[in-house]
Amino acid sequence: MASEVSAPREYGLGKTERRDSWWVGPLATALGFGAFILYSTFRDIYNDDYVSFEGRAGWGELLSPFYSPLPPESIRGLLPIWFSPAFLILWAPGGFRLTCYYYRKAYYRAYFLDPPACAVGESRSKYRGETRLFLFQNLHRYFLYFALMFLVLLSIDVVRACVFESKDGGMTFGVSVGSLVLLANVTLLSMYTFSCHSLRHLVGGNIDCFSCVAFRKGRYKLWKGTSFLNKNHMLWAWVSLFMVGFADFYVWMVASGTIPEMPDELKELIEK
């Protein structure tokens, strides 16, 4: 028996024959990114509590990744009061993530609804994909070069967080919770950066015939290595995003005195 008439098929935003909860994925993505964008924008504008123990004896310096590299005090003094030093560097990590192949997929789906989910209809207005306005996405490789430099800078921050001034004025090496947080941050950012599609292309993806090029073994191994990490690029994108936010939050809490640098008993123990 006939039950319903359904041809021609329906088109238009949200129209689908799927019966599962296809909207959960895009909604979660939209909320997750939204939360990060709000938090990071707030912290960039906040322009305070981004470094703790700067130039202070006895403790390793903790610098928020949102504010790294930090221009010296003398230059910061020249900036207008509303101009946060974070604005100077925001474009690099921001541009890297904006043009990342994974994030592109995620925000085309979650924000542009282009498409909202697979086999779910979308607005059928003129579609140009990445041909016109979005051609800038092709510059991703240039943001990658900056991202690699930032990994070096953030690693230096970890080292600085581990250099303590001892009681007699000399330097010692030490580990604080903050330094471990910064280490975790740079590690996860490295996994994200080393799993980048453009890097994978650069180190060997562009080679068809490995036996025809110099350093064939090394380049093949590099390509295999980045390909291995690349399989989980989405995972690295999310965990590194969360971690960079958390690292900033931790520094904020320490710098504002909300979290004590360390319990007094432990401090005494170390200083003995």
| Separation CA 236–CA 151 (nearest Å) | 15
Is 133 an interacting residue with respect to other proteins (CB under 8 A)? no
Task: Pick between residue 104 and residue 216 the one whose CB is nearest to ligand FES.
Answer: 104
Q: Which is nearer to other proteins, 65 or 115 (CB)?
A: 115
Per-residue CA distances from 113 to 121, 126, 238 (Å): 9, 14, 20
Give the span between the Cα atoms of 6 and 10, in whole angstroms: 8
Q: Which stretch binds other proteins (CB under 8 A): 74-82, 201-209, 250-258, 260-268?
A: 201-209
Q: CA-CA distance, 225 to 198, in Å (whole number)?
A: 14
Q: Which does 196 bind (CB under 5 to 8 A by kind): ligand FES, other proteins, none?
A: ligand FES
CB of 56 to other proteins, least distance (A): 43
**What does the angle CA 59 – CA 64 – CA 65 come to, to the nearest 5 degrees?**
130
Regarding 109 and contact with ligand FES (CB under 6 A), the answer is: no
* Contact in structure between 236 and 229 (CB atoms under 8 Å): yes
Contact status: 108 vs ligand FES (CB under 6 A): no
Minimum distance between the CB of residue 78 and ligand FES, rounded to whole angstroms?
33
The window from 100-108, 121-129, 171-179, 260-268 that contacts ligand FES (CB under 6 A) reads 100-108
Enumerate residues 6+ apart whose C-beta is below 8 A from 183. Answer: 158
Q: Which amino acid is at 111?
A: Y
To ligand FES, the closest distance from the beta carbon of 99 in angstroms equals 8
Hunting for tokens 């007094």 — which residue is that? 264
Distance of CA 172 to the CA centre of its chain: 31
Question: Beta partners for 164?
Answer: 172
Question: CA–CA distance from 195 to each of 45, 211, 232 (Å)?
Answer: 30, 24, 8
Interface pattern 22-51 for other proteins (x via CB under 8 A): ------------------------------
Using the 8-state DSSP alphabet, how is residue 232 labeled? T
The CA distance from 29 to 241, in Å, is 12
Type of residue at 121 = G
Question: For the CA atoms of the chain, what is the radius of gyration?
Answer: 24
Is residue 233 part of the contact set for ligand FES (CB under 6 A)? yes
Binding-residue pattern over the window 192 to 221 for ligand FES, x denoting contact by CB under 6 A: ----xxx-----------------------
Any contact of residue 2 with other proteins (CB under 8 A)? yes
Using CB under 8 A as the criterion, which residues of the chain lie in contact with other proteins when the complex forms?
1-9, 11, 16-20, 101, 104-105, 108-109, 114-115, 118-119, 121-122, 124, 127-131, 134-135, 138-139, 141, 197-198, 200-201, 205-206, 208-212, 220, 230-231, 233
Using CB under 6 A as the criterion, which residues of the chain lie in contact with ligand FES when the complex forms?
100-102, 140, 144, 196-198, 233
